[in-house]
Chains A and B, each alone.
Chain A
Amino acid sequence: MSRTASDDSVFQAIACPTRRELIARLALGESNVSALVASLSISQSAVSQQLAVLKNAGLVGERAEGRFRYYRLRAAPLAEVELWVARYRAYMERQLDALGRVLDALPDEPKPAARQKKKRRP
């Protein structure tokens, strides 16, 4: 199975643990920088920097409200991954089903060994 061409640029944005923490936190709901700083014990500059990376990768959207900027996950790239995983698992389940059918139809001993046994009999 192959991932689509758009995967890699988006997905490589998440190689770092801090960005993964941000993703996990934003999966719980929209947030702003100070709330993220407070809940993740990461410095404000680190949060801002990593949010910028996630924004560039299209994984996080931003909106301004009053003095604050709010950040939220953009689900499309994530849905793509989830879809890929689901399809791959279904594909492998079908292969394991087919493997079961092949096994059921296969003799327990390889054919050449069975022939040798017959020859040895008087």
Chain B
Amino acid sequence: MTDIRLTRDYPHPPAKLWRALTDPALIARWGMRAEGFSTVVGTRFKFFGTPNPAWRGFIECELLEAREPALLRYSWLDKPGGTVTVVSWALAPHAVGTRLTFEHLGFEGISGFLLAQLVMKPGHHKRLFQVLPALLATLD
């Protein structure tokens, strides 16, 4: 099940994006602070953010795949006993730069269902997609 996918083109070569995505000092400049990160498959590391009442403030990850400079994939667990999901960053040469595709996969249950219906494939259930927002605004 595909849940969240974002694509962005950058006017920089894949090797440079790879550095920005895998060097902890650079990661911290655009994303969360990574602790223990390495591109060795099996490495367990953490991302740290700001804790809130619903979140303890860090994500537990394990590196699943690293194909320089094309694909980075790691597991993602945001709370004990939660669903383990998977984050991937795919880099492909595009025009004069790189097309970066971020995906966050593996959400279960209704969240996964709704993510798929509402976010990823609105055309497949067009009627549901059209009706649901109005429903959300008026019911309960």
Contacts and interface: CB of A to CB of B under 8 A. Distances in A.
Contacts of A23: 110, 113
Nearest to A17: B113
B135 interface: yes
B78 interface: yes
B118 to A, nearest CB: 6
Interface in A68-99: 72-79, 81-82, 84-85, 88-89, 92-93, 95-96, 98-99
A13 B110 contact: yes
Interface stretch (A32-40, A41-49, A102-110): A102-110
Size category of the B interface is 35 or more
Q: Specify the main secondary structure of chain B where it touches its partner.
A: helix
A51 interface: no
A2 B119 contact: no
B104 to A, nearest CB: 8
A103 B12 CA distance: 7
A11 B109 contact: yes
A14 B17 CA distance: 38
B30 A99 contact: yes
B100 A72 contact: no
A57 B6 CA distance: 31
Contacts of A77: 110
A116 interface: no
A36 B83 CA distance: 32
Contacts of A78: 110, 114, 132, 136
Interface in A18-65: 20, 23-24, 27-29, 59, 61
Interface in B115-140: 115, 117-119, 125, 127-128, 131-132, 135-136, 138-140
